[in-house]
Amino acid sequence: MNKRLRMLTSVLALSMVATGLSGCFGGKEDEADKPSRDAQKSAVPAETQQKSDNKKPDEKYKDGQYQSDVIETKHGNLQLELTIKDGRIDEIKALSIPDADETGKRVNSKAVPEYIKEALAAQDDDIDVVSGATYTHKTFKKALDNALDKAEVE
């Protein structure tokens, strides 16, 4: 009987720990962890995703230049400017990169050009993290999304 009681107590304790841990992961979603714009669109029913008659079917963005808002970070500010040509991202310029301290200068001088290259290839914010620049990755994606939101064809 004593052995069964210990076993039951152990199972109960493990259940309580598992329940408690599962609650730790259900908190408020970080802005940078939200699904990308393309993932959000794919969740919309097909009948509500009608295309306008006055645009090309593959055209996602209006031609022109679009600046992101200035995104403030602990290492400095990040702001991007996108040039859209023929409905596609043609050029991305970093108007400012986080360089308020030596860490920011060192990391971002390598990471931001890599993120620009990947975003141009992907034509969206689906970019890989550069080792050591996770914080910059989230900030870059936020700035890129902000500028793309301004350029989207409605």
User: pLDDT per position in the chain (154 positions), as tens?
Assistant: 666 667 666 656 556 655 554 444 443 333 444 444 444 443 333 332 333 334 455 678 999 999 999 999 888 899 999 999 999 999 999 999 988 889 888 999 999 999 999 999 999 999 999 998 988 999 999 999 999 999 998 7
pLDDT of residue 153: 83
* H helix intervals, the chain: 2-24, 37-42, 102-122, 134-151
| Length, in residues, of the chain | 154
State the pTM of this model.
Answer: 0.63
pLDDT of residue 66: 97
pLDDT of residue 44: 34
Domain positions in the chain: 60-154
pLDDT of residue 103: 85
pLDDT of residue 120: 96
Specify the DSSP class assigned to residue 22: H
Q: How many beta carbons lie within 10 A of that of residue 150, not counting itself?
A: 17
Tell me if the domain spanning 60-154 has CATH number 1.10.3720.10: no
The helix-helix angle for 102-122 and 134-151 (nearest 10°) equals 50
pLDDT of residue 19: 53
pLDDT of residue 53: 38
Query: How far apart, in whole angstroms, are the C-alpha atoms of residue 137 and residue 44?
Result: 27
